[in-house]
Structure 1
Amino acid sequence: MSEYRLLSLEELQEMENEFVNYLVVNGIAAEDWERMKCAEPAKAERLIELFSDMVFETIMRNVQFLEYREKKELITFQCLSDKLVLVGMKAEGDSEADFTSQDYIKRAMVSPPDGLKVYTSEKKYQKKREIELFEMTQRGCFITEGNLFKTLCLALD
């Protein structure tokens, strides 16, 4: 059973060269792979699971920042080795906030609207770091360079 999820067929096709190298490193030639897919589909599926896990583990290991956006709330995360540091903004009341709009975020950073609450928090990982970050991406967070997180932190000082 995989730790993450299987790469889609499209994702596998995009990573064809890497997958071929993975098979070669594991001693599986092209003709052996073709034969395995037909004769031993469970074994072929397991190799795809292991490759998928390796890909996602590598990606998640390198994640430093995540963001989550809803219309009325924006949450940014710094993903440290032992914990998550969160800085968020939430529009309260009848605000016409739309944190899904990049233009709105830029305007809010320059001239914060009334009823905007900025908050911070920290949380230790409950699971293995990479698994927890992966689960966050599956729930709607996306990986960023951290520019918004850093800007919000500077605004708090």
Structure 2
Amino acid sequence: MKYIQLTKEQLEALHHEFATFLASQQIDVREWNDIKANKPDVADEELNIFSDMVWEDVLTKAEYIEHFSKSSINLFFCSEGVIQRIMIKSKDQSIDLSSKEGIQTLLHHPKNGQFEFFKGAKKYEKERNLEIFDLILKGASINKEGALYQNLKNFVA
């Protein structure tokens, strides 16, 4: 398995897609129930294959990744060959960058000396999607629009 198996909640949300996946394997509902009951290792393997397909699709489409903590924000733009990073650190411990209020303070007063900005880029050390997945496992999340990255990229240039 390349990634991790989807959670029960994720699989339930993708019920129709999973049914289509099973149908493409020529497995109907009756047969799937039999596999789950009598061949749990086969059922687990089917779930692993489906999970990897879903993760691969999601990660391939991902462009913007964000990781927030109380004292810093890491924003990533994941292009084909390079991952670009903007890091913002708060010098003021009373500003919580993981909160809406902290983000608003940053956006309204970026030059007041309370924040440090860093910008960098690097080529992927391994496969692009695996590096994005590693960031997600470390607490980052995918952001489809990348608005915060876009707002700050010219500021940090």
TM surpasses 0.5: yes
For the 8 Å contact 2:90–2:114, the answer to whether it is kept is: yes
* 1:98 has 2:96 as partner: yes
- Report percent identity of matched pairs: 26
- Pairing 1:108–2:93 present: no
Match of 1:23 in 2: 22
Gaps of 5+ in 2: none
Matched residue type, 1:118: F
Give the Å deviation of 1:79. 0.5
Summarize deviations over 1:14-45 as a string: whole Å, max 9, x none: 11111110000111111111111122111111
1:152 equivalent in alignment to 2:152? yes
Code of the residue aligned with 1:49 in structure 2: it is: N
* Deviating 4+ runs (over 6 angstroms): none
Q: CA deviation at 1:116?
A: 1.5
- Tell me, which stretches of 5 or more residues in structure 1 are unaligned? none
> What is the CA-CA distance between 1:98 and the residue it aligns to?
1.2
1:122 alignment partner AA: A
**3-state DSSP of counterpart to 1:96:** coil
- Give the number of equivalent residue pairs: 155
What SS does the aligned partner of 1:59 have?
helix
Equivalent residue for 1:46?
45
Q: What amino acid maps onto 1:147 in structure 2?
A: A
Q: What secondary structure is seen at the aligned counterpart in 2 of 1:3?
A: coil
1:110 maps to a residue whose letter is: H
Contact persistence 1:95–1:115 (CA under 8 A): no
Q: How does 1:1-157 map to 2 (within 5 A)?
A: 2-92=1-91, 94-112=92-110, 113-144=112-143, 145-157=145-157
**Higher deviation after alignment, 61-70 or 147-156:** 147-156
CA root-mean-square deviation: 1.3
Report SS of the residue matched to 1:137. Answer: helix
SS in 2 for 1:97: coil
